[in-house]
Amino acid sequence: MTSNKIDYIPKIVVCGSCSVDFTTYAPRLPNHGETLHGTKFVTSFGGKGANQCIAAARLGGNTYMISRVGDDQWGQKYKDNLKTAGVDVTHVYNTHNVTTGIAQITVAESGQNQIVIVLGANGHLSKTDVEKSKELIITADVLIGQLETPFETTLEAFKINRGLKLLNAAPGRNDIQEILPYCSILCVNESEASILANHPVVSVKTAVEAIKKILALGCATVIVTLGENGALYASKNDPPTHVFCDKVVPVDTTGAGDAFVGALATYLVSHKDYPLHQIIGAACEVATISVTKEGTQTSYPTNYTPFTKEYKYETL
C-alpha cells in the first residue's frame, strides 16, 4: 500500500533587504581622498537579506523572502533572480517611485572590501508588510532578520514568530536592545560585537568578554564570527566555545558573513540533532568556500554535503 503522506519541510523565512551590487576590483582599498585605477567592474545581486536567503536555498533550504524592491529595471530582475535560486517571492513587494536598494563595493586583491549602501526600497519595508505576511512569519521554523531594513519592522516580525529567531545585527549599531530578548540566536562579526557590547573585539579573549556583555542584554545565544579564525559562541547555559575553520587564501570576502548565516539557518533545521558547535563548524566551512571565489551570491556553494568530518572546537 502506497502512503500519500508528504513530509513537512521546515520553512526558512528571511525578512530583509534586496540590493544590487556595483562592485569594483582594485589592487588595494583607496586611502582617504585617493583615486585608484580598478581592474574590473561587475554588477550583481546582493543585500544581506537576499544573500542569506539564497545561501540557504542553495543548500537545500525551503526559503521565503519578505522584502521590497523598486519599480525600476532592477526590481523585476531581482525577483527573477530569487525565483531562479528557488526562493518563494510571494511576499517581495514592489515600491512605486522608489529605486531598488544598491551597494557600492570595492574589493582589493587581498580579498578585503569596503561597502556603501543606499537603502532605496529597503527603507520602505514596513509593519504593514509584516501584517500582510503574518501567517508566513508566525509559522516560520527559522526567521532571519538583519539591520538593512527599518528596525521596527524586524522587531515586529520577531515578536510574532513562534520558531527560531536568528538576528544578524548588521550593519552594527548599539540601539537594538529591545529586540534582543526575542532572539534565539544573535550573530555578529567582530566589529558589530564591539559596537553592541561597547567593548573592543580584537582577539578570542576580548570576544568572550563581548559575548558575556551581549548575553546580559537578553538574547539566548550569541555567535561572533571571527573570519579565518572561525567563530565563537556561548549561551546562558553553555560556556564560550571556539569553533575553528580551515584557512584559505581569500579572493573576495564580500558576503561571507551572509553565507554563514544562511548555512546556519539551514543546518539548524536540516541537522537539528547535531550539537551546535558542529552546525557552526559546517556554516564556517560554507563561508570559507565562498571567499575563494569572486562575487557574493555567485560564490555560494550548491550541491554541498556538510558534516563529512568532525569540526574542531575548544571549550574556553
Residues belonging to the binding site for K(+) are 252, 254, 290, 293, 295, 299
Amino acid sitting at position 61: G
CA angle centred on 46, ends 99 and 67, rounded to 5°: 60
258 among known catalytic residues: yes
Dist CA 213 CA 121 (whole Å): 34
Q: Annotated catalytic residue: which of 88, 129, 141, 258?
A: 258
Point out the annotated binding site for substrate. Answer: 19-21, 47-51, 148, 258
Helix, strand or coil, per DSSP, at residue 169? coil
Point out the annotated binding site. Answer: 19-21, 47-51, 148, 189, 225-230, 252, 254, 257-258, 290, 293, 295, 299
Question: Mind giving me the DSSP string for 293-315?
Answer: SSSSGGGS-SS----SSPPPEEE
Question: Mind giving me the DSSP string for 122-143?
Answer: GGG--HHHHHHTHHHHHH-SEE
SS3 sequence, 41-87?
Answer: EEEEEECHHHHHHHHHHHCCCEEEEEEEEECCHHHHHHHHHHHHCCC
Point out the annotated binding site for ATP. Answer: 189, 225-230, 257-258
SS3 sequence, 222-246?
Answer: EEEECHHHCEEEEECCCCCEEECCC
| Residues involved in catalysis | 258
